[in-house]
Amino acid sequence: RDTSRPLPFATGARAVFDLSLEGMMWSRRTLLMGILVALPVLFAIVYRVVLATQPRAELLPPGDLYAVIVALYWIRNVLPLAALFFATSLVADEVEGRTLTYLITRPLTRPSIFVGKFAAYVVTTLSLALPAGVLAFFILLSARGFSGIPPAIGDLLRDLGVMALALVAYGAFFALLGVFLKRPVIPGLMFLYGWELMANLPGYLPRFTLTAWLRSLIHHRPAQEGLAGLFQQVLPAGQSLAVLIVVSAVLLAAAAW
């Protein structure tokens, strides 16, 4: 083959994807994030044990507990954190390990390198998050019997979709951050726990955060006390989906470019 000409985009991206996926799946970062993402499954098992041994214990209803886990633990905190530590390292790890030269000197276009690595990130994080979501759902919602599960399957599928969208949207933003900055983790944490807090403010400001759009896609929401509950807005679901898709696409295109 003529190595002076780059491989087709899809072929190059697939080659980088295969190489990156193996490295991501068996990394210490994946192990740590896997434990963090799967903690609610362990908590759900403990909840069931307590419920079985102490039927009169004053516990949060299973459905409400599941809503808290999805909205506050996964979508608001842990999945954005996973996106931060995975996506900012897509290029940074190659630079730090001095292996980026080996990629860019191969017959690969730079966008195909980025897209292949981002696809590996998405597959890795989805393989951690989605099974945890399914397990937590069935463990908790079967606590009072299996009759409550069929009506809630629609909510489960919606939640899994929002979890996936959260990983893509935050991943696109942090991947772009990782391309532009040498040390993107601290600015990323400031974005998550500074800028994104504007989602709880009144007025138009929440529309400039990813959190507000993502939580508007969830049907069941945990009750929030205080000013956060008073100001929390629910934006139109169709508009939220469109905004997240467009923003993710623009951020990914900018990072690839």
Distance CA 78, CA 171 (A): 13
pLDDT above 80 (res 229): no
* pLDDT score, position 28: 86
Helix residue spans in the chain (DSSP H)? 9-25, 28-53, 62-68, 79-87, 89-96, 100-104, 110-141, 149-180, 185-193, 210-215, 226-231, 237-256
- How much is the pLDDT for 208? 92
Alpha-carbon distance 178 to 94, whole Å? 11
What is the pLDDT at residue 24? 84
**169, 79 in Cβ contact below 8 A?**
no
Cβ atoms within 10 Å, residue 8: 11
**Over residues 62-71, mean pLDDT:** 89
Look at phi and psi of residue 143 and say left if phi exceeds 0, alpha if psi is from -120 to 50, else beta.
alpha
Q: Identify the pLDDT of residue 231.
A: 45
pLDDT at residue number 187: 92
> What distance in Å separates the CA atoms of residue 256 and residue 175, rounded to the nearest whole number?
9
Q: Is 128 exposed, middle or buried (0-12, 13-18, 19+ CB in 10 A)?
A: buried
Residue 103 confidence class, pLDDT cut points 50, 70, 90: low
Task: Please give the pLDDT value at position 94.
Answer: 64
Q: Is residue 92 predicted with pLDDT exceeding 80?
A: no
pLDDT value at 159 more than 50: yes
Q: Exposed, middle or buried by CB within 10 Å (0-12, 13-18, 19+), for 186?
A: exposed
With cut-offs at 50, 70 and 90, classify the pLDDT of residue 210. very high
Q: In this predicted structure, what is the pLDDT of residue 228? A: 46
Compute the mean pLDDT over every residue in the chain, rounded to the nearest whole number.
84
Q: State yes or no: pLDDT of 221 exceeds 80.
A: no
The pLDDT of 50-71, averaged and rounded, is 83
